[in-house]
Structures are given as structure tokens and as C-alpha cells.
Amino acid sequence: MYQAMTEKQLIKEKTDGGILAPKGFKCDGVHAGLRYNKLDMGMIVSETPCSTAAVYTTSHFQAPPLLVTQDSISKAGKIQGIVVNSACANACTGDQGYKDALMMRSLTAKKLGIDEHLIAVASTGVIGEYLQMDKIAAGIEMADPGKESEKAEAFQTAILTTDMVMKRCCYTAEIDGKTVSMGGAAKGSGMIHPNMATMLGFLTTDAAVSPEHLEAALKEVTNTTFNQITVDGDVSTNDMVIVMANGSAGNDPLHPGHPQWDVFKGMLRESCASLAKQIARDGEGATKLIEVSVKGAVSDEEARKVAKKIAGSNLVKTAVHGADANWGRIIGAIGQSEAEVNPKTVDISLGSIAMLEGSKPVAFDEGEAKEYLLKDNVQIFVNLHLAAGEGLAWGCDLSYDYVKINASYRT
């Protein structure tokens, strides 16, 4: 009963909130000239050092900003400020790229008047180009972090690349009689296939929680949220999700033995899931969000594998884009998964429209199915009928515009 209350009653979504909703945080976004006429640098700062946790791309080519951020967090598990630029990923740039990322950290620390090891660095954009450090330095000096909603919007805009819309979220809950808030902002629309992707996620909270418990919670939640989205199957060099917790809400320190630990974890899960789905929905050239729900697998992990295989299938994605109710594409994706499957017991439906039961075709109305697939949000349900494992994944359709966007990405 308490768990049900945790998820359904104690966590509230604030549709007008964002990364500045938690107490003690400021941010800004500026135009430094890295892009022709768009905001291209952002900054987040807390009034006090924050317990910090992060997860990173599994690419062999982790970009220098990630290495610098990992170095900062390793010092004491705390961060107080983040600097981020778009337009240039500073990836595959060798020793010079690492020196430039260190310089971004140093200049930001000087600007904010805090120690260098309390600064995290993030970059996104074109791979293989060097940062224009004169413009980076000017942008850092230009930034004037504040609490106004316009500052949050400026930050959310500055981190975007091919994104069409800003991604943000906010959740609150009562913990130890205190109102605890969690806000988030993210970017990402293409090169998305986490264990992470070309995505950056920034989460702020005024909860009190130690770095080690925050890290454990983030890693657990990431596996069922950010790592369950896919746009095009490609993994980037710069992906990172970072959570900063400054304790300004005044709650007792959170840990797995705290009676409301699950409330906090629920807030983190809701925040990450919201941002993950927004990223999937904004896939380059996408017109629809695809949500795949799999149950009846031998484990939750196996269910997630099947769900992500379906959401990432180009044939499924193009069928959804063309409103073609070809469940054979879904069967094809399930057949390729590494999960255990009994080919005689699979059920498939699009929304409420059953198409396969016990691996046998079910007659359905093609017109009704086409009308369903024309909607903005498409749900695919699969039951493997093996055990109790369940999992979700999110993706998007594959459109003609995806090719156009990526054929001219650098121009």
C-alpha cells in the first residue's frame, strides 16, 4: 500500500516548473558566437556544493568534457556548477581538446569564485572540431545565472542542436514534512541509442542525499529510462546525465533505509522517464512517439531487451511512419532479440487492436489500425507468456526528413 501511495499520490508533477524549481539553483544561457544566431552556451550553479552523480556514454571515444567531469566528481562526489556548450562536441580532439575542456572548467570556476574541482563540463555538436576558445571564454564571462524563468528557458535553448523543442520536467514530493523538488532539462534528438546517446541530461534537486546513494539510484533508474530510448541506433561520444542535490529542502539525509527513500527514487525515475520520452518524441524528423510495452518475459531485463529491439527496428519505425499495420515487422524484431522467446506463445496488439494471439494471426480492421497509427503516440503491446518480466522502451518513427537532416548535419 505504501509503495502505491509513493508512486501515485506523493509525487506531483509541476507542468510550469523546470531546472530552477529546486531551491538554491541559478542558470543562464547566452549567445557566444559558436552558432550563427542562436544561444550556444549555458551555465548552472548552486548556492552550495551539491552531492553529484553522473552516468556517461559507453562509447570507446568518450569526449574530453566527460573525462574532465569525471575527474571533478571523483574528487569528493560534489559539484557546484556546470558549463555546457553546443555547436562543437570537442570529441576526437586529442590533447588539445582535453586542455580546452580543462580551460572551460578553470574559466568557469574563476567566474563563479569556486574551486575548479566543483565544476562539471559538457559539450555537444559536431565531432572532430576544436572549440573556439576565445568565444568560449567570452560566453563564460557573459553568463549571468539567475532564478528568473527566462534564465531557465535560455539555458534549455542554449544546449540544443538539431532538437526542435526544449525538454524539461519538474516533480515535487513531501519528504520528512518538507517540500522536495526535482527539475530537469535535456537535449537530444538524433544519434540516440543509449547506453547513453547524443543526449545531455541535467537534473537538479534540493533533497539532501549522499553522493554514493545518489549514484546508486541514478544508475538503477537510468537502466529503465534513458537506456530504453532509441532514435537511430547510433551511440554518441558525449552523452551524460548528471544529478546535483544541494540539500536546501531541509529533509533528513536520504538513504535506502530512510522510510521515504522510495519517494525520492520515484521522483528521480519520473524525471528521467519524462526527459527520455521527450527526447524520443523529438527524434530528428520524427512525427510520432512509439512506446513498446513487453510483459511475460523471463525477467524484466529480458523484457526491456525485446522492447528496445522493437522500438529500434527501422522496419517497425518506417511501418509506423507510413501507418502500415504490418505486425510482421514486430515479429521480425522480436525474433532478433537476445531474449528467450517461445515462437508459439506471442501476443501482439497496436493499442487495443489485437493482431496476434498465441503466435496466430487475429482478424482486424485495417482501416481502424491505420487510423490508430496516424496518431501522435503509438503503443505496441507484446506478451511473451513465459513468466512475469516486464519492460518498456521508447522510440520514434523514421521519416524522410531524418535523411535530409543527417545528410547535411555539418552545413
List per-residue pLDDT tens for the chain, 411 residues long: 334 454 557 999 999 889 999 999 999 999 999 998 999 999 999 999 999 999 998 788 899 999 999 999 999 999 999 999 999 999 999 999 999 999 999 999 999 999 999 999 999 988 899 999 999 999 999 999 999 999 999 999 999 887 777 889 999 999 999 999 999 999 975 444 444 335 899 999 999 999 999 999 999 999 899 888 875 445 678 889 999 999 999 999 999 999 999 999 999 999 999 998 898 877 655 788 999 999 999 999 999 999 999 998 989 999 999 999 999 999 999 999 999 999 999 999 999 999 999 999 999 999 999 999 999 999 999 999 999 999 999 988 887 666 666 565 555
Active-site positions read 198
**Could you give the CA distance from residue 47 to residue 375 in angstroms, rounded to a whole number?**
44
User: How many C-beta atoms lie closer than 10 Å to residue 61's C-beta?
Assistant: 12
Every domain of the chain and the residues it spans: 2-280, 289-407
**Could you give the CA distance from residue 69 to residue 101 in angstroms, rounded to a whole number?**
9
Fold of 289-407: Ubiquitin-like (UB roll) (3.10.20)
CATH number among 3.90.190.20, 3.40.50.920, 3.40.50.720, 3.60.70.12, domain 2-280: 3.60.70.12
Strand 347-350 to 289-297 pairing: unpaired
Q: Find, among 226, 318, 315, the residue nearest to 269 by Cα.
A: 226
**Could you give the CA distance from residue 360 to residue 70 in angstroms, rounded to a whole number?**
51
pTM recorded for the entire structure: 0.86
**Could you give the CA distance from residue 28 to residue 31 in angstroms, rounded to a whole number?**
11
**Could you give the CA distance from residue 278 to residue 72 in angstroms, rounded to a whole number?**
29
Counting Cα atoms < 13 Å in the Cβ hemisphere of 232 gives 22
Contact (Cβ atoms closer than 8 angstroms) between residue 323 and residue 374? yes
Residue with cell 572540431: 129
Strands of the sheet with 289-297, listed across from one edge: 360-361, 353-357, 347-350, 377-383, 289-297, 389-396
**Could you give the CA distance from residue 179 to residue 91 in angstroms, rounded to a whole number?**
40
Strand 377-383 to 289-297 pairing: parallel
